[in-house]
Amino acid sequence: MATPDHLDQRRERAAAAEGLDGWYLARLCDGETETGEPISWYEYEHLDGRQATVSESGSSTDPELQRLLAEKRQSGGSLPAVSPWWASATGLIRWLARRGDEAQ
Between CA 78 and CA 27 the distance in angstroms is 17
Between CA 26 and CA 59 the distance in angstroms is 16
User: Can you give the pLDDT of all 104 residues of the chain as single tens digits?
Assistant: 567 788 888 888 888 888 889 998 888 888 888 898 888 888 999 999 999 999 888 889 999 999 998 888 888 755 444 444 445 556 556 666 666 666 55
- Whole-structure pTM value: 0.65
Domain boundaries, the chain: 4-103
Task: Give the residue from 10, 36, 5 showing the smallest Cα distance to 25.
Answer: 10
Side by side, which strands form the sheet with 38-46? 23-32, 38-46, 51-54
Backbone φ and ψ of 79, nearest 5°: -140, 120
SS3 24: strand
